[in-house]
Chain A
Amino acid sequence: MRAGNMSRHLTGWLLASPLSLVLILFLVLPIAMIVVVSFWKATEFSIIPAFSMENYDFLFGSPVTYRVFGTTIKYALIVWVFTLGIGFAVAYFLAFHVRSQTWQIALFLLCTIPFWTSNIIRMISWIPFLGRNGLANSALISMGVTEEPLDWLLYSDFSVILAFVHLYTLFMVVPIFNTMMRIDKSLIEAAYDAGATGFQTLTNVIIPLCKPGIMIGTIFVITLVMGDFVTVRFMSGSQSANVGRLIQNDIALLQYPSASATAVVLLVTVLMVIGILLRFVDIRKEL
């Protein structure tokens, strides 16, 4: 019995060893390195091993930090609301209104294909829409909604949020669709038989049963938005900053210790959010 146990552990370790190796080398060690370097000092052109709280003191003493973390959380919350609303509606349509399985698969694939294409290209492709002479402005002018082209369409909070929603809604659609497909249809019929209206069925039966999918989608969207630095730079035309941008700026100035300190605070924030969300869902069971 004991020997059997031992060999089971051994097989498990052997099979898991390549995965563990990659994660230790390229996840655990880099995080450890960032934590260590966050206590180092920097000159203009080199970094010096030390144990100093300077970077954290500066970080927590600067009003910029709080503003930038505020912006990051603001983006995350707004994008979450939109992706959840859109993602839920799309998943609901696919799961409950599309009756033929072939169509269901085809439409589902249509929703997921952009995930496998380039994010940067998808961001660039908003330029002809939102620019001063873009499609949106010419449409608005020709409809007489506005006389002057709107400046805030591109390079603003609006365009940043639009791009985030564009890029990440499918991270909501897929897990919510997945949980919806597993709802036993007889539960919904039972709700109707018991006299529930469509809306009551939605709020009392479908939404509670979709909670795991909603949580997984939420984890994806929140972490992707909070960790982003490309979308904000590109879509705000460098006029807005989130934490990722702050880190990237420090990196560009070779201020690695200061970048590391900000990165540590960002990581702790993200992991706390995930820790809270994971209390509501057991990911391994939901796959």
Chain B
Amino acid sequence: MEPRSRSFYVLAGFFGLFLLFLYGPTFTIAILSFQGPQGGLTFPMRGTSLHWFRDLFEQQAVGDIWGSFRRSLALGLMVMVTTVVVSVMGGLAFRKRFAGNAVLFYLVITALVIPSILISLGVGLIFSQLGLPIHWASSGFGSQLTWTLPFGLLIMFAVFNRFDKSYEEAARDQGASNWQTIRHVILPIIAPSLIGVALFGFTLSYDEFARTLLTAGSYNTLPLEIYGMTTNVTTPVIFALGTLTTAFSLVIIAVFLLTVWGLNRRRARQGSDAGKGMV
């Protein structure tokens, strides 16, 4: 191997600083959430305690944290399942040209780049003018999909651009129907990417804020609850909540990534199943 150039060390240092910039603040509030009962929002630490975490689990003076957490969780799962199903169908549709595919594609891009407040405002206006109840599971759900679906679909584009079509052709040659080809050939091959789509669907929904602001109705999701807290809570309890939700997100991300890794490993170990099938 050739020796490392000077630019390697400069860029490695820069990269390290970037990671520090990325994660430093989060670590800081993680530390500060263990403030003693008299501690404030900044250093110094006045003792260490679980006081602020205990505050979260007790009857709260502020808002309904656990209710909003349950709602965010339910909404995240709804959005996740919908995003996976709709993105796969959309991805399959876009593999062949159909009348209107360019229009639909530009709509997807628009959904991605449109300022979130327009979705919030527009959906809120429609529901209120039609007299429909504004609720996180109806208007909030739809608004979040406009943010998660473009990501899901772009991932599917990336997946199908790299998809080796000879697998499908082989299936067809063996007499598989369209549905059989999708079910037994395409879906198993793209399964790890679907977990990626699910990860985007869940986490983007779980943290979504701008598109839910006017569309969640009277029951807040967790990010809305936290947003409300920023204006009236001046104790480290908000850091404790931040640390817990971040930890929860990290666990979710880890579960998804480990699943992808596990699937890929299993696939690598099993390799080809040529000659094993009796179908």
Contact = CB atoms under 8 A, between A and B. Distances in A.
Interface residues of A, number: 84
A134 B203 CA distance: 30
Contacts of A267: 114-115, 118
A247 interface: yes
B73 interface: no
A93 B11 contact: yes
B90 A16 contact: yes
Question: Which range holds the interface residue count of chain B?
Answer: 35 or more
Contacts of A227: 114-118, 210
B113 to A, nearest CB: 4
Given A16-B90, A19-B104, A26-B143, A118 B25 contact: no
A287 B161 contact: yes
B180 interface: no
A93 B4 CA distance: 12
A19 B154 CA distance: 13
Contact of B227 (A93, A99, A120, A166): A120
B226 interface: yes
Contact of B113 (A22, A97, A198, A219): A219
Most buried by A among B28, B115, B200, B257: B115
Interface string B187-220: 0000000000001100110110110001000000
B122 A33 contact: yes
B209 A120 contact: yes
A113 B253 contact: yes
Contact of B93 (A16, A120, A234): A16
Nearest to A24: B107
A118 B93 contact: no
Interface string B168-200: 000000000000000000000000000000011
Contacts of B206: 118
B226 A19 contact: no
Nearest to B129: A33
A180 interface: no
Contact of A135 (B28, B238, B245): B28
Interface in A237-287: 244, 247-248, 251, 256, 259-260, 263, 266-267, 270-271, 274, 278, 283-284, 287
A86 B32 CA distance: 28
B89 A121 contact: no
7 contacts: A22-B149, A31-B122, A89-B11, A116-B204, A125-B26, A128-B25, A260-B125
Given A11-B96, A120-B230, 17 more contacts: A9-B98, A16-B94, A18-B89, A25-B142, A89-B15, A117-B250, A118-B226, A120-B209, A120-B227, A121-B246, A128-B28, A134-B42, A169-B18, A223-B115, A274-B113, A283-B109, A284-B105
